[in-house]
Amino acid sequence: MRTLVFHPCRFQACVVCALAIVLVPLGSGCAAVKATQQPSKKNMGVLSPGTPRTHVIAELGAPLWSSERDGTTVDVFAFKQGYTKGTKAARALAHGVADVATWGLWEVVGVPAESLADGSDVKVEVTYDDHRAVSSIDVIAGEDVINPRPMFGRKRKRLFFPEAKIEPETKVAEPESKVESDETTS
């Protein structure tokens, strides 16, 4: 009859394997968690003329800098434009599926990807009128967030301050075709 001999090296190897089997599934999901903790999307509509200052501050947070200039209030806001709840949830779900499909190896790609995709930096100077409503904005950084580029080659449309002149699309007049009458063909 053979007796079992306790080998410390084999025992340590078994413990390490058991811990790896337990901890890898628990440790996975970091990319999914990071995706849900990305900054939320701000409503850029509060930067349109006539919006009360209180609404701007409620949406964008406290201004980074504020002062009185020529009797008008000027605020500078700095924030990250993030993602909608649906986008964050879809990204988290995709990371979770990739984690399961790759047995946790996706984290090597997913965590750095979520670290890089953490929203767009925006800095805006907002000037208010006598009634403490937005009168103008000056985009310091993040022009593409304030006035996004159109998709599929359409002309860029300014979302805010429509009084700024935008050249309308000009239509090229088609040359009039000569219609031959019945008399000339006979």
Asked whether residue 103 is assigned to any structural domain, the reply reads yes
Of the candidates 126, 103, 117, the one whose C-alpha atom is nearest the C-alpha of residue 51 is 126
135-151 mean pLDDT: 80
Instruction: Name the more confident of 122 and 144.
Output: 122
Which pLDDT value is given to residue 126?
Answer: 92
Give a yes or no: residue 60 inside a domain: yes
- The secondary structure element, H or E, covering residue 90 is helix 85-101
Write the CB contacts of 57 (distance below 8 Å, at least 6 apart in sequence): 63, 75
Asked whether residue 89 is assigned to any structural domain, the reply reads yes
- Percent over 70 (pLDDT), the chain: 66
Q: Is residue 172, in this structure, part of any structural domain at all? A: no
With respect to residue 54, please indicate whether it lies within any of the assigned structural domains: yes
Q: Assess if residue 112 is contained within a domain.
A: yes
Q: Is residue 119 part of a domain?
A: yes
Residue 178 DSSP label: P
Number of domains in the chain: 1
In a domain, 34, yes or no: yes
| Parent domain of 87 | 29-163
Q: Residue 36's pLDDT band (boundaries 50, 70, 90)?
A: confident
> pTM to 2 decimals?
0.59
